[in-house]
Amino acid sequence: MKIDQSLYQKYNKPTPRYTSYPPANYFNDVTDYASIIQAIKASNDEAPQNISIYIHIPFCGQLCHYCGCNTLITNNQTLIDNYIDTLLKEIDLLKPLLNADRKISQIHWGGGTPNFLPIEAIQKIMHKLYDNFETIPQAEIAMECHPAHLTKTYVDELVQLGFNRLSFGIQDFNEQVLETVNRQKPLLPIADIIAHIKTYPQISLNLDFIYGLPFQNLKDYTQTMNRAVALSPDRLAVFSYAHVPWIKKQQKTLEKFGLPSAEEKIGLFEKAYEILTGSQYVPIGLDHFAKPQDELSKALKTKQLHRNFQGYCTLDTTGQVYALGVSGISQLTSAYLQNTKSITKYIKSIEAGVFPIEKYYFVNDQEKLIRDIIERIMCNMYVDFNQVAQAHHISVADVYKITAVNFETLQTFKSEGLLHFQNHILELSRKGQFFMRNIAASFDPNMKNNQKNFSKAL
Ligand SMILES: C[S@@+](CC[C@H](N)C(=O)[O-])C[C@H]1O[C@@H](n2cnc3c(N)ncnc32)[C@H](O)[C@@H]1O
Ligand code: SF4
């Protein structure tokens, strides 16, 4: 699909990614610890009842220069062992606060690079969780993996532990791009490790790619995407490179090689979109693609798609997210709670029996309404405002009032062919999908006088 360059220019401005609402840069410093404990306890009485566990492993073998994640490059085995022991203690701290009848529906290992850890460390933590919590029968057990540290035996051990979702960071197949961004090479040929994974039918495989890196061009990226399709993963994520050197200093290194222009970057995504949709992958949200028979594609069809910090999921498996580990963000129905980003503080705090939560945000009813609308846009590209009004027990007129949406802006989106809006139903067009962050932002009253710094929308 070719999109008018002038639209890209108009809408390529700093805009939240809306992995949460309000976004993380609105979180406050914790001053009242008792209210944080109260928020965790209160989550027991809120929907969804299921528990999602997020485990953050910050360790990586080498720093990729583009990386926007919370990472620590280390080979310090004592520190790593200490960190694992601390995670076990954090589970001990959390367990008594959660009602015993609540079950785990998701466990997500993110990072950093969780598979940088020896398998024994993963086993210790998984057994601790299984010993302390019940899981639902179809629980999603996922890990973000770097192919540089992945052996077939490691995959076998993960399967033994119940893992049924693996995601590989590929980023690009082009050697020059990978070397420039300081990316470690895979341990085994990607095709071999994927062939091994495919011997386990219960595993859903995702591959991550990025566009917008130095030396990426249309010809080579076409090859990368064709190679990706040939590997036939269940899902692919094609992320727009978020360049935020004021937060991630090492990203500055990439500027000396020259980053693709906004126009070139869009060309790369359009090419990826064309190849993936041409191979039957269904576009999901902003940057994900899934096979038609994948649960995400089915959930999109029935407008049951959901999203949290870990990515897209279905409403069946989603739970309130309780995060373990440094920098992890718990996503409860009425609160966001973020652990410290300092590993030293994290270990010390847990040793003292205190949750290392440094930032928080308590979400009020009006913000829940806005969050609901933004999530419907970002996931299902469809909002029935009558349904929203009913779900939040207010009138449709009040829904519009709370979001402070400007109907002229909606009219402009409509005249640009980005959405349909009639009888209180908003539906994004195919073209509008590319601008969903901008459309979502039009329902965010915080964006009216926004002083915060976000990465660009496209
Ligand atoms: C935690 S990493 C995945 C696991 C492992 N560390 C790896 O790199 O293979 C999460 C993903 O975030 C994406 N990512 C990291 N930094 C990014 C950035 N600045 N902009 C867009 N995507 C980024 C990459 O695609 C990466 O695969
Ligand atoms: S992209 Fe992955 S491997 Fe690279 S530094 Fe970030 S988290 Fe670590």
From ligand 1's centre to the CA of 216, what distance in Å?
Answer: 17
Residues sharing a CB contact under 8 Å with residue 421, sequence separation 6 or more, in sequence order: 410, 413, 414, 427
Which residue's alpha carbon is nearest to atom 1 within ligand 1?
Answer: 111
| Segment 348-402, tens digit of pLDDT | 999 999 999 999 999 999 999 999 999 999 999 999 999 999 999 999 999 999 9
- pLDDT at residue 452 in the model: 61
Distance CA(86)–CA(108), nearest Å, equals 18
Structure tokens at 238: 């094609």
- pLDDT at residue 311 in the model: 82
From ligand 2's centre to the CA of 439, what distance in Å?
Answer: 30
- pLDDT at residue 454 in the model: 62
What separation in angstroms does the CA of 452 have from each of 8, 236, 442?
Answer: 21, 30, 16
Query: Per residue in 124-150, is it b (16+ CB within 10 Å) or e — as a string?
Result: ebbebbeeebebeeebbbbbbbbbbbb
Q: Where does 23-330 sit in CATH, by number?
A: 3.80.30.20
**Pocket probe mutation, ligand 1, options 71, 173, 213, 239, max atoms within 8 Å of Cβ:** 239
- For the residues of 196-219, what is the DSSP string, one character each? HHTT-TT-EEEEEEEES-TT--HH
Query: Which regions of the chain are under pLDDT 70?
Result: 1, 315, 449-458
Give the binding-site residues of ligand 1, using a 6 Å CB cut-off. 60, 66-69, 110-113, 144, 146, 169, 171, 208, 210, 239, 241-242
DSSP state, residue 96: G
**Contact, 80 vs 325, CB < 8 A?**
no
Distance CA(330)–CA(274), nearest Å, equals 36
Angle at 162 between CA 157 and CA 168, to 5 degrees: 70
110 lines ligand 2 (CB under 6 A): no
Which residue's alpha carbon is nearest to atom 27 within ligand 1?
Answer: 169
Helix (H, G, I), strand (E, B) or coil at 331: strand
| Segment 282-295, tens digit of pLDDT | 999 889 999 999 99
- pLDDT at residue 316 in the model: 72
User: Before 22, cis peptide (omega within 30)?
Assistant: yes
Please list the residues that pair with 21 across neighbouring strands.
Answer: none
- pLDDT at residue 9 in the model: 85
Residue ranges per structural domain of the chain: 23-330, 365-447
**Contact, 52 vs 106, CB < 8 A?**
yes
CA 67 to ligand 1: nearest atom: 16
**Pocket probe mutation, ligand 1, options 64, 69, 236, 238, max atoms within 8 Å of Cβ:** 69
- pLDDT at residue 318 in the model: 82
**Contact, 221 vs 214, CB < 8 A?**
no
The rounded mean pLDDT for the chain is: 94
The dihedral over CA atoms of 374, 379, 384, 388, expressed in degrees to the nearest 10, equals -50
CATH of 365-447, one of 1.10.10.10, 1.10.357.10, 3.40.50.620, 1.10.10.920: 1.10.10.920
149 lines ligand 2 (CB under 6 A): no
Query: Taking Cα atoms as reference points, which of 86, 79, 91, 159 lies closest to residue 119?
Result: 159
Which residue's alpha carbon is nearest to atom 1 within ligand 2?
Answer: 67
